[in-house]
């Protein structure tokens, strides 16, 4: 009996039209964009007389762009942001005390290469979480791994991991991420074990990766959260060795927004402004 080529071929690669085979191979090679686009791009290239190498180049470039986008999306999901926010929606004029130049420089993520830290301090509603989220998003887009958490949630995760004898694994994960964002340090006082575990996290990341901390408390009040002056001193020592501090004191953006809504409940702001002027203090309509 004569052997045919198909006898020696791996299963799934024989028979069928070239399209079926091609689709199979492209799936195996994990080239979904080439698979989705090759016929359309072929038609376009045929119409405009583009040669085969350029046709192939176009397809491969599409795959690369899509692959980068998928990787960024994966990093964003892995970061566990409570919401995706960027600097595009951040109004710097609402918080004039914030150093805009410094923030935009930080958005370039070079501090992550230097393993520097960032601390954002200020009262509630001034955009600290927004800025931390936007810096986290920028880091994902620049190719860094990010983890977002709150101080309270991080401490309870650490305590739980310790009880379940998987603390080392969690600590290793926390130490290896390029950017760790710890939001809201200061809202909840920590137990002494909790504070020790948080300190260890900072210690293990020291000069290994960047950490962003946001807090409503000035440094002198951190002892009230961490419980011990010695621990607070040691933590601040590590955290502030290479640090950019963002001072974000001002009016609460949340309160300002809701006050504006109360003044103008229909909130079709632009439309209304075309026909009437509202007194910003009293909400009174000045020109009907």
Query: Which residues of this protein are in contact with ligand ADP, per CB under 6 A?
Result: 85, 89-91, 94-95, 124-130, 253-254
CB of 202 within 8 A of CB of 211? yes
The residues in 118-137 that bind Mg ion, with binding defined as CB under 5 A, are 129
Long-range contact set of residues 234-238: C-beta below 8 Å, sequence gap at least 24: 234/199, 234/203, 235/198, 235/199, 235/202, 238/202, 238/203, 238/206
CB of 137 within 8 A of CB of 148? no
Partner touching 94 among Mg ion, ligand ADP, none, CB below 5 to 8 Å by kind = ligand ADP
Kindly state the smallest distance separating residue 250's Cβ from ligand ADP, in Å: 9
d(CA 23, CA 35): 6
Question: For Mg ion, which is the closer residue by CB, 170 or 180?
Answer: 180
Kindly state the smallest distance separating residue 252's Cβ from ligand ADP, in Å: 7
Question: For ligand ADP, which is the closer residue by CB, 125 or 197?
Answer: 125
Partner touching 125 among Mg ion, ligand ADP, none, CB below 5 to 8 Å by kind = ligand ADP
Assigned token pair, 202: 């900072």
Kindly state the smallest distance separating residue 125's Cβ from Mg ion, in Å: 8
d(CA 235, CA 228): 11
Question: For ligand ADP, which is the closer residue by CB, 186 or 194?
Answer: 186
Comparing C-alpha atoms, which of 152, 86, 145, 126 is closest to residue 248?
A: 126
Confirm or reject binding of residue 149 to Mg ion (CB under 5 A): no
Confirm or reject binding of residue 150 to Mg ion (CB under 5 A): no
Comparing C-alpha atoms, which of 161, 140, 154, 233 is closest to residue 201?
A: 154
Residue nearest to ligand ADP (CB): 127
Partner touching 254 among Mg ion, ligand ADP, none, CB below 5 to 8 Å by kind = ligand ADP
Question: For ligand ADP, which is the closer residue by CB, 193 or 258?
Answer: 258
Question: For ligand ADP, which is the closer residue by CB, 103 or 179?
Answer: 103
Confirm or reject binding of residue 216 to Mg ion (CB under 5 A): no
Question: For Mg ion, which is the closer residue by CB, 33 or 129?
Answer: 129
d(CA 137, CA 79): 9
Residue 175, class by beta-carbon neighbours within 10 Å (0-12 exposed, 13-18 middle, 19+ buried)? middle
Question: For ligand ADP, which is the closer residue by CB, 95 or 154?
Answer: 95
Binding mask 20-59 for Mg ion (x = CB under 5 A): ----------------------------------------
Q: What is the DSSP letter of 189?
A: P
d(CA 268, CA 254): 18
Contact residues for Mg ion (CB under 5 A)? 129
């Amino acid at each position: 009996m004569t052997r045919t080529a198909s006898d020696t071929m791996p299963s799934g690669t024989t028979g069928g039209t070239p399209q079926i085979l091609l689709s199979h191979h492209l799936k195996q090679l994990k080239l979904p964009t080439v698979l989705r686009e090759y016929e359309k791009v072929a038609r376009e290239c045929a119409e405009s007389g583009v040669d085969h190498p350029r046709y192939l180049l176009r397809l491969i470039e599409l795959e690369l762009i899509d692959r980068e986008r998928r990787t960024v999306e994966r990093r964003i999901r892995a970061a566990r942001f409570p919401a995706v926010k960027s600097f595009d929606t951040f109004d710097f004029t609402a918080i004039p005390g914030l150093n805009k130049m410094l923030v935009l420089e930080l958005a370039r993520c070079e501090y992550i290469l230097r393993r520097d830290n960032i601390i954002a301090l200020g009262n509630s509603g001034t955009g600290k979480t927004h800025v931390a989220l936007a810096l986290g998003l920028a880091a994902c887009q620049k190719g860094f791994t990010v983890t977002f958490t709150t101080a309270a949630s991080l401490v309870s995760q650490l305590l739980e991991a310790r009880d379940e004898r998987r603390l080392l694994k969690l600590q290793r994960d926390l130490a290896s991420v390029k950017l760790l964002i710890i939001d809201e340090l200061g809202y909840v006082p920590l137990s002494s074990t909790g504070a020790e575990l948080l300190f260890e996290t900072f210690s293990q990341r020291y000069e290994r990766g960047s950490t962003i901390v946001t807090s409503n408390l000035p440094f002198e009040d951190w002892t009230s959260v961490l419980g011990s002056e010695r621990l607070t001193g040691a933590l601040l020592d590590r955290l502030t060795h290479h640090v950019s501090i963002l001072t974000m004191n001002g009016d609460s953006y949340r309160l300002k927004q809701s006050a504006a809504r109360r003044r103008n409940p229909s909130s079709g702001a632009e439309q209304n402004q075309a026909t009437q002027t509202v007194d910003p203090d009293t909400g009174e309509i000045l020109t009907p």
